[in-house]
Amino acid sequence: MPHNHNQPPARYWHPVADGRIQCDVCPRDCKLHEGQRGACFVRMREHDEMVLTTYGRSSGFCIDPIEKKPRNHYFPGSSVLSFGTAG
């Protein structure tokens, strides 16, 4: 697949005052400059948007209610990022 172009825009992020954009998916709250990847290496800032770099490659990528997860008392009502890649 072509890399880093026409990646699908991701949800759950917002701009912050210093010009970075902050991911809202998990408690790491990554704040990204243009071209930076988040700590998970799944989400990346490109052209002032958050994109998913594993789209089309991961075996599964979804936002589930956190109650589905074993850590169901961690952040009740919040979202949890789930993904797997080949292997």
Binding residues (CB under 6 A) for ligand SF4: these are 23, 25-26, 28-30, 38-40, 42-43, 81
Distance CA 30, CA 59 (A): 24
Residue 1 vs 38, nearer CB to ligand SF4 = 38
Beta-carbon count within 10 A of 10 CB:
20
Nearest to 21, CA basis, from 4, 46, 2: 46
Shortest gap between Cβ of 34 and ligand SF4 (angstroms)? 14
Residue 38 vs 54, nearer CB to ligand SF4 = 38
Q: Report helix, strand or coil for 36.
A: coil
Residue 16 vs 39, nearer CB to ligand SF4 = 39
Looking at beta carbons, which residue is closest to ligand SF4?
38
Q: Report helix, strand or coil for 80.
A: strand
Shortest gap between Cβ of 83 and ligand SF4 (angstroms)? 9
